[in-house]
Amino acid sequence: MLNEIAKETEARMKKSVESVIDHFKKIRTGRAHPSILDSVQVMYYGAPVPLQQVANVSVEDARTLMISPWEKQTVSDIEKAIYKSDLGLNPSSNGGVIRVPMPALTEETRKVYIRQARQEAESARVSVRNVRRDANNDMKELLKEKDISEDEERRGQDNIQKLTDKYVAEIDSLLEKKEADLMEI
């Protein structure tokens, strides 16, 4: 039973870390990177579809993304989707190719993005701690029902704490890398 609780706890903690990674991808740095457009949804034959399913996204140079749609008639839909995405990007097209220049980050926008990254990291840490609390409550229930001994509960809580420390450290490491990326000129 304790192994099941530990496995479920670790899976939920991994999801919290994956979530913060996804949020960090949406916070753009000064460099062009295709993952910045991962959240963009394009209207394609009346249904929202991820940009990667209707076009090829590549890096043209350090500050420009190049989008090559599979079908030429989707160019204007892709441009509209990028405008509406709240990423602060201004795409321009010439025929069948869309270029998305990455504006240089000012000191002020860097600080805003760092603050946003820290908030995302903190919410992920809180999520990991909530998972720990749930696991510890599950173990207390098992102890009340006399399914496990006090020693087993203590060992289980120690294992859960080690998992918590591991995933909080991973989140801190990801935040450190993102901050370094944002402060790089």
Measured over the CA atoms of residue 88, residue 59, residue 175 and residue 52, the dihedral's sign is: positive
Closest CA relative to residue 47, chosen from 74, 70, 72: 74
Phi, psi of 54 (to 5 degrees): -120, -5
- Indicate if the pLDDT at residue 14 is higher than 90: yes
Instruction: Please compute the mean of the pLDDT values over residues 109-127 and round it to a whole number.
Output: 91
- Indicate if the pLDDT at residue 30 is higher than 70: no
Query: What is the structure's pLDDT at 127?
Result: 95
- Indicate if the pLDDT at residue 74 is higher than 70: yes
Please write the tens of the pLDDT for every residue from 134-155.
999 999 998 898 888 889 889 9
Tell me what the pLDDT averaged over the chain comes to. Answer: 88
Instruction: Please compute the mean of the pLDDT values over residues 81-102 and round it to a whole number.
Output: 84
- Indicate if the pLDDT at residue 185 is higher than 70: no
Instruction: Please compute the mean of the pLDDT values over residues 32-61 and round it to a whole number.
Output: 86
Residue 143: burial class (beta carbons within 10 Å; 0-12, 13-18, 19+): middle
Instruction: Please compute the mean of the pLDDT values over residues 60-89 and round it to a whole number.
Output: 85
Phi, psi of 33 (to 5 degrees): -150, 130
DSSP collapsed to 3 states, 80-123: HHHHHCCCCCCCEEECCEEEEECCCCCHHHHHHHHHHHHHHHHH
**Domains in the chain and their CATH numbers?**
2-26+106-183 (1.10.132.20), 34-101 (3.30.1360.40)
Buried b (16+ CB within 10 A) or exposed e, 64-92: ebbbebeeeebbebbbebbeebebebebe
Query: What is the structure's pLDDT at 46?
Result: 85
pTM above threshold 0.85:
no
Q: Kindly state the tokens that stand for 167.
A: 């995933």
